[in-house]
Structure 1
Amino acid sequence: MFNILLFHALLFGADFVEEYLLQPSPVVYTDGMVADVRERARKLDLSTTRQNVSRDYIISNPDACRKPDLFLLALVFSSPANITQRNAVRRTWANQTQIQEFPIKVLFFTASTESSTTQQDLIKESELHGDLIQSHVVDVSSLYGAKKNTLLALRWVITFCPRAHLVLLTEDSVFINLPAIGSYLRGLHRNSEDLYLGRVIQKESPDRNPNSPRYLSRILYPDKYLPEYCEGTAYILSQDVARKVYVASSSVLTPIPVDVFVGFCAQKAGVTPTHSARFSGERHIHYNACCYRHLFSSAGMGSQELERVWQDLQQKGGKCSLLKTYSGLVACKVRTYLDKMLFQ
C-alpha cells in the first residue's frame, strides 16, 4: 500500500502541489548585460513597423487587437495550407472571447507560401474570419526560418497588440484549455511581469550528432547543458518578456530550435522560466474529461479528435471534484504512458 501511495505521489502529485500549495514566482537575474537588455526593451520603439508593415507581413491585420486592454492574446502558429485544422481550432477551444469576464483574443500566425492557390485561399480566409496574420518567411522548417517567423510574431504583438498583458504562443495541433489557464494566471496574485511559463526543459544536453538537424557543435556552444527553456508547443510570455526576448534576439546567433532560442533570449534578459506540469509539452495526453479540464494543453490533436474532445467536454459540462480530477489525471496519464510504451 505504501508503494502504491508513493507511486501516485511521485507520478501525479506535481500537478496538485503546483495548483494548491505553490504560487510560483519568476526569478530575475541582473547583471550589466541583463540590465542593458531590459532597458532597451523598455525603450523599444517599433513605429517603423506600422509605417512599413508590408515589408514584414503579407497579411498584417493591424486592427485585430481592437480591444484596448486584453488579458490574454493567444497566437497560434499554423502552416498556410492547414485551413481544416484552423477551422477546427476556431470551432473548439478558440471559440471564446473572455475568461472570467476578462477579454481574450485568438489569432493565427502563418508563413508565406509559394502556391498562388493557397495564397488566394488565405486572403479569403482572412477576409472571412479577420484572425489571420501572414509573414514573408518562406521556409519555417529550417532553424533560421522558424526563428525569423517567431520573431516576426513577437514583433507583431509588440507593435499591434501592446496592451495584451499576456501572450500564449502555441500550435494549431494543440488543445488549449483557456479557462484553466486563465484561472491559474488570475490566481497567481502578482502583477504580470517577467513571466515565462510553460513545461520547462532542464539540463538538456546539446545535440552533438553532426548528422542531426539539431546539431550544435562544441565550438558554437561549449557548455554541457542548454539554458532552461519552455517546450515550444505551448508557453506564455508576459508582454514585457516578449519585448525583452525580441531585443535580446539580436545577440543570440547560435543555430538552435526556436523554443531553445526563446530560452536563450530569456536568459540574456535575466528571466528564468517557470514550470507547470499542467502543460503537456510535446506529449499527446489520452483523453479523459476531468483530466482535460485540469490540464493546460495536449499536443498532437488532429482536427477530428479536437472536435470530438471538445464536443464531449461541452456535453458533460460542469466542473470536476478534487477526487474526480485526481482520478482523471491518473487514468489519462497511465493510458498515455502505456500508449508510449506500446509504441516503443
Structure 2
Amino acid sequence: MRRLNNLFTFIMAITAFFFGSFITKILSPADQCPAHTIGRIQLEPHPNVFLVVLVLSPPRNADQRNAMRSTWLRTARQPLHQQYYPEELIFLPTYSSNGHLQVELVEQQANRLRQYKDWQKRMMTKDLPRTQRLIKVKHVFAIGTWNISSSMQADLVKEQNQHNDLIMLQRHNDTYGNLTKKLIQALDFLRHHYDFSYVIKVDDDTFVKLNSLLNDLVSYDRKLLRKRSEYGQYPLPQLYWGYFNGRATIKRKGLWKESNYFLSKNYLPYALGGGYVLSRELCEYIADSSQLLTPYVSEDVSVGTWLAPLRHVYRWHDPRFDTGYMPRKCQPYHMVLHKRSLEMMADIYDGKLCSGTGSSSLSEYFYDWKKATEKCCDSLVV
C-alpha cells in the first residue's frame, strides 16, 4: 500500500510539473520568446535609464541650473516625438584584420553630415509620420560641497528639496583645479546609483537639443545591438562622441597650466569639454581605474588621454557639437552648444537659431585620423 501511495505521489508531482511548465509557457510575454519564433532579431532591453545628463556645476551657479531646468532639460521629461533617424545613415566602425578598430575617414564624416542636413531639411518641409517613443533620460548636477559656507549649504539643501537633481559631493572642494577629480567622483556615483547606457557630460553654460541628440543616439544604439554578432571575438565598440581636437598645445601657464603632462608636445586627441558622450563601459573604466590614472587639470584632456590606449573606443568626431571655448558660427544642424548665457538658452529654446553669438571666426573641421596631429583638423566643413 505504501508503494502505491509513493507511486501515486510521484505521478502527481510529474503531472504538476508539466502542467506548471505549460501554464508558464502560454502566459510568458511575447518579448521573451526566442528571436527566431517572432521573425526578427531580438534586441536586448535597454537599462532603466538610457541617457544620463551629467552637468558639472559649482555651488554658486543656481541661476544657470534653473535656466537649464526651464529650457532644454524640460524635454527630458517628454516623449521623443520624431521620425526614426534612418539606421542606414549611422556609421558603425569595424575591426581590421589585425584587430584595430577602423577610424571614420574624412570623406565618410562629410557624407554623414550631408545626409543629416538633407534628412533634417525633409523633416522641416514635409509632413512625415513621427513615432512617439518613451526614452528615459535622467539629469543630475554634480556639485562639490566641501568647505562651503553654511548659507550656501542651506541654499543647496533648499534647491535639492525642490528639484531632487543634485549630486552633492561632500568631500570635493569645487574649484577649477579639481574639476577632473569631480568628474571621477560623479561618474563613480552614477554607476553605483543608476542603470544607464550612456552619459553626456556638459557644463552649466551648455544647451543641448536633446531630441536631436537622442534620435541619433537611439538609432546608433539599436544598430549596434543588431550588429553585435558581427563583431565576433572582438569587443563591442564603446562610444566616445564629441568634437575632437588633436593639435592643442600643452598649457604651461595660466588657469589651464599643466605641470605633469609629458606624453607629447600636444594633448592627445580629446573631445572638447562643453559636451561629450560616453558609453557606460567607458564610465566604469574611468571610475575603476581612477587610482591609477593621472588626473590632469583639464577634465576633457584627462578623459581623452585616459581612453587613448583602448583599442575598442569609437571616437565619433561630430561638427554638430559646438563645444569649444568660444562658439562657432551658428548652424541649424548644431545640437550641442557651449558658452550660452541664460538669455541665449531661453532664445534657443524658443526656436531662435542664434542669440547674441555665432560670429566666431573659428572654422569647423572634419577630423583626419590618418594624419599627424598637426594636420588633423585642416579638412574644413564648407
Specify if TM > 0.5: yes
1:75 partner letter = L
Question: Residue 278 of structure 2 is aligned with which of 233, 237, 248?
Answer: 237
Where structure 1 has 5 or more consecutive residues not aligned to the other structure, the ranges are 1-66, 314-327, 339-344
Change (3 A) 1:221 1:157: same
**Cα deviations by residue, 1:257-306 (Å, 9 ceiling, x for unpaired):** 1111111221244435321110001232555xxx34x2121111121221
Q: Secondary structure at the match of 1:102?
A: coil
* 1:84 aligns to 2:63 (yes or no): yes
Where structure 2 has 5 or more consecutive residues not aligned to the other structure, the ranges are 1-45, 81-132, 226-235, 363-382
1:263 partner letter = G
* 1:277 aligns to 2:319 (yes or no): yes
- What value does the CA root-mean-square deviation take over the aligned residues? 2.7
For residues 131-280 of structure 1, the aligned pairs below 5 Å read 131-143=165-177, 145-161=178-194, 163-188=195-220, 189-191=223-225, 194-207=238-251, 209=252, 211-216=253-258, 221-253=262-294, 255-270=296-311, 271=313, 273-280=315-322
- Note the C-alpha offset of 1:247: 2.5
Change (3 A) 1:147 1:130: same
1:73 paired residue number: 52
Q: Distance in 1 between matches of 2:256 and 2:71?
A: 33
1:82 partner letter = N
Change (3 A) 1:142 1:178: closer
- Note the C-alpha offset of 1:84: 1.3
- Note the C-alpha offset of 1:171: 1.1
Larger radius of gyration: 2
Question: Residue 297 of structure 1 is aligned with which of 336, 358, 362?
Answer: 336
- Note the C-alpha offset of 1:214: 3.2
Change (3 A) 1:182 1:226: same
2:241 partner letter = L
Q: Distance in 1 between matches of 2:139 and 2:349?
A: 17
Moved over 6 A (4+): none
2:350 paired residue number: 311
For residues 34-113 of structure 1, the aligned pairs below 5 Å read 69-96=48-75, 97=77, 98-99=79-80, 100-112=133-145
For residues 111-130 of structure 1, the aligned pairs below 5 Å read 111-112=144-145, 114-130=148-164
Question: Residue 360 of structure 2 is aligned with which of 322, 332, 336?
Answer: 336
Q: Taking structure 2 as the reference length, what is the TM-score of the superposition?
A: 0.59
Report how many residues are paired: 247
Q: Distance in 2 between matches of 1:261 and 1:248?
A: 13
Q: Distance in 1 between matches of 2:342 and 2:209?
A: 16
Q: Distance in 2 between matches of 1:81 and 1:212?
A: 23
- Note the C-alpha offset of 1:139: 3.6
Q: Secondary structure at the match of 2:308?
A: helix
Relative to its length, the structure with more helix (as a share) is 1
**Cα deviations by residue, 1:113-167 (Å, 9 ceiling, x for unpaired):** 5121111111011111111111125543343x11111101100111001x21111
Change (3 A) 1:185 1:255: closer
1:212 partner letter = G
2:85 paired residue number: none
Q: Distance in 1 between matches of 2:70 and 2:153?
A: 22
Q: Distance in 2 between matches of 1:252 and 1:311?
A: 42
2:317 partner letter = H
Q: Distance in 2 between matches of 1:173 and 1:95?
A: 16
Q: Taking structure 1 as the reference length, what is the TM-score of the superposition?
A: 0.65
Residue identity (%): 23
Q: Distance in 1 between matches of 2:321 and 2:269?
A: 16
2:299 partner letter = V
Q: Distance in 1 between matches of 2:295 and 2:198?
A: 27
Q: Distance in 1 between matches of 2:143 and 2:54?
A: 10
Q: Distance in 2 between matches of 1:187 and 1:93?
A: 21
